[in-house]
């Protein structure tokens, strides 16, 4: 075992120990952690995990790792997830809604038809799931049709939180499998899968709290793999499935589409049509609580976004409606540029890296434009970061946990540590890369981590 491998093994062992400590903090296990000392200790430990993770990423990018390192990375990732699986959800109550939606469907009722507290569903209630469902007294489900099919399938096997969390970890296994395949095709070391597998955010959000985003990321990974292999219909179908788990993945459509190709959009639309038709009996209710969610989060009037919020705190001016309009224009312009950019043939290794660069660019741009209030919205960024290891993006995935310290979305400090710091890091990173291109010594160093 060489020195780099020993360092990585040490980091892995300490990371596992930190996860063990996190599981012993004594959260009540009610998926509603009090925002007090225990949560702050947990976030501090996540920061420690993040520093260890960045150190591990640095070791992997430097290379020169011994035999068996790849399997050691996967084993460590599995251990951390098994430990997180053993804990009841304590950062979010979303998984209880998943179990409920699956139970409602198993009874032959559309999950979009009634709110959880509706008297028509009295016979389905129990003392474990229902008290933990958020917005139960006024909000129908928000989750799209493919997510609902997953809830139903898991619920048929076991209508429990534990089963749902295991399902999310299985989707993570799919993601890791696809990442490894893509790394081999791109001519990159398989050990780079660590950039996703050891990231603390997926570990706690998926194995720990069971968020459905794990399924969306799994389908995104399949779409990327299908794109590299030139299977346009499957690309569209997988991206369509990802979008109907969580709407955000539609943002990377331009990265996966090839100019004038109709097969990929056809696959996307076919999946969307088929799954929405499965729930068409409720009419427009099929969009669930989505409009209400936009209003509740302040996204419809601009008040829920970080940058107008920060500007108002500093200057007193609130460009509420101007911000979403400007953000939309910039996102559309970026999508257009990516969609119609010249690219090398997909069989070349450079094309795989270009695909991942565009995917990371579009996904990050969407997240930064939306400035979400919840940490799990950042987890999908770790997938393309395995190929384009941007430090500023990795920082986002770690710093996202600070958002848990601002449950009311009213504090400037914690959100600034996420959205205020990122632009500074991103600008510095771009400057460094340009310097690397101009400087032969830096260019050689940069190539070693690509």
Segment 261-293, tens digit of pLDDT: 899 999 999 999 999 999 999 998 899 888 888
- Please determine, for residue 335, whether its predicted confidence score (pLDDT) is greater than 80: yes
* pTM of the full structure: 0.93
pLDDT at 110: 95
Q: Which residues contact 428 (CB under 8 A, 6 or more apart)?
A: 392
**pLDDT band for position 449 (cuts 50, 70, 90):** very low
- Please determine, for residue 444, whether its predicted confidence score (pLDDT) is greater than 70: no
Q: Which of 176, 230, 168 is nearest to 198 (CA)?
A: 176
| Pairwise CA distance, residues 42 & 24, whole Å | 10
Least confident residue range of 24-33, 68-77, 384-393, 396-405? 24-33
- Please determine, for residue 442, whether its predicted confidence score (pLDDT) is greater than 50: no
**Residue 147 vs residues 98, 101, 140, 162, 375: alpha-carbon distances, Å:** 9, 10, 14, 17, 19
409: left (phi over 0), alpha (psi -120 to 50) or beta: left
Residue 263 exposure: Cα atoms within 13 Å on the Cβ side:
9
Residue 252 per-residue DSSP state = G
- Please determine, for residue 34, whether its predicted confidence score (pLDDT) is greater than 90: no
Is residue 379 within 8 A of residue 248, CB to CB? The reply is no
pLDDT digits (tens, 9 = 90+) for 189-230: 999 999 999 999 999 999 999 999 999 999 999 999 999 998
pLDDT at 298: 82
**pLDDT band for position 154 (cuts 50, 70, 90):** very high
Q: What is the mean pLDDT of residues 387-416?
A: 93
Is residue 395 within 8 A of residue 422, CB to CB? The reply is yes
| Pairwise CA distance, residues 268 & 253, whole Å | 9
pLDDT at 31: 43
Please tell me which residue, 346 or 288, carries the higher pLDDT value.
288
| Pairwise CA distance, residues 122 & 85, whole Å | 30
Q: What is the mean pLDDT of residues 343-363?
A: 84
pLDDT at 345: 67
- Please determine, for residue 97, whether its predicted confidence score (pLDDT) is greater than 60: yes
Angle at 95 between CA 306 and CA 44, to 5 degrees: 55
Q: Which residues contact 356 (CB under 8 A, 6 or more apart)?
A: 182, 186, 224, 384, 386, 387, 388
Q: Which residues contact 118 (CB under 8 A, 6 or more apart)?
A: none
pLDDT at 28: 55
pLDDT at 445: 47
Please tell me which residue, 351 or 249, carries the higher pLDDT value.
249
Segments in 229-317 forming alpha helices (H): 232-243, 253-256, 263-277, 290-296, 306-315
- Please determine, for residue 409, whether its predicted confidence score (pLDDT) is greater than 90: no
């Amino acid at each position: 075992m060489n020195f780099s491998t020993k360092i990585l093994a040490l980091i892995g062992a300490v990371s596992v120990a930190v996860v063990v400590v996190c599981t012993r903090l004594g959260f009540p296990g009610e998926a509603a952690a009090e925002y007090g000392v225990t949560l702050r200790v947990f976030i501090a430990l996540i920061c420690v995990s993040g520093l260890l993770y960045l150190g591990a990423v640095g070791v992997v990018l430097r290379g020169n790792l011994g035999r068996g390192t790849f399997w050691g990375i996967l084993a460590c990732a599995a251990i951390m997830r098994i430990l997180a699986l053993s804990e009841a959800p304590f950062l979010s109550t979303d998984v209880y809604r998943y179990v409920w939606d699956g139970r409602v469907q198993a009874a032959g009722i559309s999950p979009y038809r009634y709110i959880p507290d509706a008297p028509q569903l009295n016979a389905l209630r129990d003392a474990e799931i229902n008290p933990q469902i958020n917005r139960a007294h006024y909000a129908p489900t928000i989750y799209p049709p493919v997510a609902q099919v997953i809830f139903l399938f898991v619920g048929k096997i076991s209508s429990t939180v534990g089963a749902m969390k295991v399902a999310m970890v299985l989707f993570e296994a799919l993601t890791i499998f696809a990442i490894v395949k893509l790394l081999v095709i791109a001519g990159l070391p398989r050990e780079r899968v660590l950039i996703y597998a050891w990231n603390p955010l997926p570990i706690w959000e998926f194995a720990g709290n069971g968020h459905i985003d794990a399924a969306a990321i799994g389908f995104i990974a399949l779409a990327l793999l299908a794109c590299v292999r030139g299977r346009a219909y499957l690309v569209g179908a997988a991206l369509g499935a990802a979008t109907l788990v969580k709407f955000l993945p539609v943002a990377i459509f331009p990265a996966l589409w090839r100019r004038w190709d109709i097969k990929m959009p056809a696959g996307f639309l076919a999946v969307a049509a088929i799954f929405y038709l499965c729930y068409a009996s409720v009419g427009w209710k099929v969009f669930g609580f989505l409009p209400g969610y936009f209003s509740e989060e302040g996204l419809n009037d601009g008040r829920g976004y970080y940058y107008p919020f920060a500007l108002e705190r500093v200057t007193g001016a609130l460009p509420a409606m101007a911000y979403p309009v400007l953000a939309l224009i910039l996102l559309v312009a970026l999508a257009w540029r990516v969609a119609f950019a010249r690219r090398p043939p997909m069989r070349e290794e450079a094309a795989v890296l270009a695909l991942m660069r565009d995917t990371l660019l579009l996904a990050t741009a969407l997240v930064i434009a939306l400035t979400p209030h919840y940490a799990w919205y950042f987890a999908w960024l770790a997938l393309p970061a395995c190929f384009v290891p941007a430090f500023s993006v990795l920082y986002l995935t770690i710093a996202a946990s600070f958002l848990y310290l601002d449950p009311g979305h009213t504090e400037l400090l914690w959100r600034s540590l996420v959205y205020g710091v990122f632009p500074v890091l991103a600008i510095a990173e771009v400057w460094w890369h340009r310097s690397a291109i101009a400087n032969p010594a830096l260019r050689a160093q940069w190539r070693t981590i690509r």
